[in-house]
Amino acid sequence: MKTKVLVLAALLCAASAGSAFAAAATAPKPESHVSVIFVEPQKFTDVKQNSWGDNSPELLDQIKSFLCETGESYVAAGRHLEIKVTDISLAGKFEPWRGAQFDDVRIVRSIYPPCFKLDFRLTDEKGNVVKEGTREISDLAFQMRSAWPLSDPLRYEKDMMRDWFREEFGRARKS
Protein backbone atom coordinates (compact mmCIF):
# COMPACT_ATOMS: atom_id res chain seq x y z
CA MET A 1 0.00 0.00 0.00
CA LYS A 2 2.84 2.38 0.87
CA THR A 3 4.39 1.79 -2.54
CA LYS A 4 1.15 2.70 -4.32
CA VAL A 5 0.91 5.95 -2.34
CA LEU A 6 4.53 6.86 -3.14
CA VAL A 7 4.05 6.07 -6.84
CA LEU A 8 0.84 8.14 -6.90
CA ALA A 9 2.58 11.05 -5.16
CA ALA A 10 5.49 10.88 -7.63
CA LEU A 11 3.08 10.89 -10.56
CA LEU A 12 1.23 13.91 -9.17
CA CYS A 13 4.52 15.79 -8.68
CA ALA A 14 5.61 14.97 -12.22
CA ALA A 15 2.25 16.09 -13.64
CA SER A 16 2.35 19.40 -11.78
CA ALA A 17 5.96 20.00 -12.83
CA GLY A 18 5.02 19.24 -16.43
CA SER A 19 2.17 21.74 -16.36
CA ALA A 20 4.49 24.35 -14.84
CA PHE A 21 6.98 23.81 -17.67
CA ALA A 22 4.17 24.03 -20.23
CA ALA A 23 2.95 27.30 -18.70
CA ALA A 24 6.48 28.71 -18.80
CA ALA A 25 6.88 27.66 -22.42
CA THR A 26 3.63 29.36 -23.45
CA ALA A 27 4.27 32.54 -21.49
CA PRO A 28 4.31 35.51 -23.88
CA LYS A 29 7.79 36.52 -24.95
CA PRO A 30 8.65 40.20 -24.88
CA GLU A 31 8.02 41.78 -28.27
CA SER A 32 11.15 41.96 -30.36
CA HIS A 33 12.32 45.31 -31.69
CA VAL A 34 14.14 43.68 -34.61
CA SER A 35 12.98 41.43 -37.42
CA VAL A 36 15.22 39.85 -40.04
CA ILE A 37 13.95 38.55 -43.36
CA PHE A 38 16.08 36.66 -45.87
CA VAL A 39 14.96 37.49 -49.42
CA GLU A 40 15.44 34.41 -51.64
CA PRO A 41 18.23 32.87 -49.53
CA GLN A 42 18.68 30.01 -52.01
CA LYS A 43 20.16 32.62 -54.39
CA PHE A 44 22.65 34.05 -51.88
CA THR A 45 26.24 34.07 -53.13
CA ASP A 46 27.78 31.92 -50.37
CA VAL A 47 26.35 30.72 -47.07
CA LYS A 48 27.67 27.18 -47.39
CA GLN A 49 29.34 24.72 -45.06
CA ASN A 50 31.04 22.82 -47.89
CA SER A 51 31.90 23.27 -51.55
CA TRP A 52 29.21 20.99 -52.96
CA GLY A 53 26.14 21.78 -50.85
CA ASP A 54 23.39 24.35 -50.96
CA ASN A 55 23.27 27.39 -48.71
CA SER A 56 23.07 26.22 -45.12
CA PRO A 57 19.83 26.81 -43.16
CA GLU A 58 21.85 26.36 -39.95
CA LEU A 59 24.23 29.19 -40.83
CA LEU A 60 21.31 31.39 -41.89
CA ASP A 61 19.61 30.72 -38.53
CA GLN A 62 22.81 31.69 -36.69
CA ILE A 63 23.10 34.90 -38.71
CA LYS A 64 19.44 35.75 -38.12
CA SER A 65 19.73 35.15 -34.36
CA PHE A 66 22.88 37.25 -34.21
CA LEU A 67 21.35 40.16 -36.14
CA CYS A 68 18.21 40.12 -33.96
CA GLU A 69 20.12 39.92 -30.68
CA THR A 70 22.66 42.57 -31.65
CA GLY A 71 20.01 44.86 -33.13
CA GLU A 72 18.02 44.73 -29.88
CA SER A 73 20.79 46.63 -28.11
CA TYR A 74 20.66 49.44 -30.70
CA VAL A 75 16.90 49.90 -31.11
CA ALA A 76 15.16 52.02 -28.49
CA ALA A 77 11.95 50.89 -26.82
CA GLY A 78 8.94 51.64 -29.00
CA ARG A 79 10.92 51.48 -32.21
CA HIS A 80 11.18 48.61 -34.69
CA LEU A 81 14.00 47.70 -37.05
CA GLU A 82 13.25 45.53 -40.07
CA ILE A 83 16.24 44.13 -41.94
CA LYS A 84 15.77 42.46 -45.33
CA VAL A 85 18.93 40.62 -46.28
CA THR A 86 19.21 40.29 -50.06
CA ASP A 87 22.63 38.60 -50.34
CA ILE A 88 25.42 37.17 -48.20
CA SER A 89 28.93 36.09 -49.07
CA LEU A 90 30.85 34.67 -46.14
CA ALA A 91 34.53 35.38 -45.62
CA GLY A 92 36.70 32.92 -47.50
CA LYS A 93 35.89 30.51 -50.30
CA PHE A 94 36.06 26.82 -51.02
CA GLU A 95 38.84 25.99 -53.44
CA PRO A 96 37.81 22.69 -55.07
CA TRP A 97 41.06 22.38 -57.03
CA ARG A 98 42.75 21.51 -53.73
CA GLY A 99 41.14 18.05 -53.82
CA ALA A 100 38.27 16.14 -52.24
CA GLN A 101 39.79 16.22 -48.75
CA PHE A 102 39.24 20.02 -48.76
CA ASP A 103 35.53 19.96 -49.76
CA ASP A 104 34.49 21.33 -46.38
CA VAL A 105 37.51 23.58 -45.71
CA ARG A 106 36.87 27.28 -46.23
CA ILE A 107 40.08 29.01 -47.29
CA VAL A 108 40.17 32.48 -45.76
CA ARG A 109 42.21 35.02 -47.69
CA SER A 110 42.04 38.77 -48.03
CA ILE A 111 40.70 38.41 -51.60
CA TYR A 112 37.54 36.74 -50.21
CA PRO A 113 36.02 39.38 -47.86
CA PRO A 114 32.63 38.95 -46.18
CA CYS A 115 29.76 40.91 -47.71
CA PHE A 116 26.13 41.51 -46.74
CA LYS A 117 23.60 43.30 -48.93
CA LEU A 118 20.51 44.50 -47.13
CA ASP A 119 17.65 46.95 -46.93
CA PHE A 120 16.59 48.28 -43.54
CA ARG A 121 13.82 50.40 -42.10
CA LEU A 122 13.67 51.83 -38.59
CA THR A 123 10.22 53.00 -37.49
CA ASP A 124 8.95 54.73 -34.36
CA GLU A 125 6.05 53.63 -32.15
CA LYS A 126 3.53 55.19 -34.56
CA GLY A 127 5.01 53.43 -37.61
CA ASN A 128 6.69 56.56 -38.99
CA VAL A 129 9.97 55.90 -40.77
CA VAL A 130 12.90 57.27 -38.76
CA LYS A 131 15.66 55.92 -40.99
CA GLU A 132 15.87 53.59 -43.96
CA GLY A 133 18.30 52.59 -46.63
CA THR A 134 20.05 50.00 -48.75
CA ARG A 135 23.55 48.97 -47.79
CA GLU A 136 26.32 46.78 -49.15
CA ILE A 137 28.46 46.04 -46.13
CA SER A 138 31.90 44.60 -46.75
CA ASP A 139 35.24 44.70 -45.00
CA LEU A 140 38.36 44.35 -47.12
CA ALA A 141 40.53 44.47 -43.98
CA PHE A 142 38.55 41.76 -42.16
CA GLN A 143 41.66 39.71 -41.40
CA MET A 144 43.23 42.63 -39.55
CA ARG A 145 40.49 42.44 -36.91
CA SER A 146 40.72 40.71 -33.58
CA ALA A 147 37.50 38.80 -34.18
CA TRP A 148 36.61 36.51 -31.28
CA PRO A 149 36.03 33.74 -30.50
CA LEU A 150 38.40 32.08 -32.94
CA SER A 151 36.23 28.96 -32.90
CA ASP A 152 33.22 30.85 -34.32
CA PRO A 153 33.05 30.25 -38.09
CA LEU A 154 31.04 33.50 -38.46
CA ARG A 155 33.40 35.68 -36.41
CA TYR A 156 34.39 37.97 -39.30
CA GLU A 157 30.78 38.50 -40.39
CA LYS A 158 29.58 39.16 -36.83
CA ASP A 159 32.36 41.64 -36.14
CA MET A 160 31.65 43.46 -39.41
CA MET A 161 27.91 43.63 -38.64
CA ARG A 162 28.54 44.90 -35.09
CA ASP A 163 30.46 47.77 -36.68
CA TRP A 164 27.57 48.42 -39.06
CA PHE A 165 25.04 48.61 -36.21
CA ARG A 166 27.32 51.00 -34.30
CA GLU A 167 27.95 53.22 -37.34
CA GLU A 168 24.32 53.21 -38.53
CA PHE A 169 22.48 53.56 -35.21
CA GLY A 170 24.98 55.05 -32.77
CA ARG A 171 26.01 53.66 -29.44
CA ALA A 172 24.27 50.61 -28.03
CA ARG A 173 21.62 51.39 -25.44
CA LYS A 174 22.03 49.97 -21.96
CA SER A 175 19.86 47.00 -21.09
- pLDDT of residue 73 exceeding 90, the answer is yes
Per-residue pLDDT tens digits for 124-161: 999 999 999 999 999 999 989 877 787 898 999 999 99
Residue 16 maps to a domain: no
Q: Which domain holds residue 105?
A: 32-169
d(CA 27, CA 143): 43
Starting from the edge strand earliest in sequence, which strands make up the sheet with 34-38, in order? 34-38, 80-89, 115-123, 129-138
Residue 1 maps to a domain: no
Task: Answer yes or no: are the C-beta atoms of 92 and 109 closer than 8 Å.
Answer: yes
So what's the pLDDT on residue 108?
86
64 confidence band (pLDDT: 50, 70, 90)? very high
Q: What is the CATH number of the domain that holds 89?
A: 3.40.50
Region of 38 please: left (phi>0), alpha (psi -120 to 50) or beta. beta
So what's the pLDDT on residue 29?
52
- pLDDT of residue 121 exceeding 60, the answer is yes
Number of domains comprising the chain: 1
Residue 175 maps to a domain: no
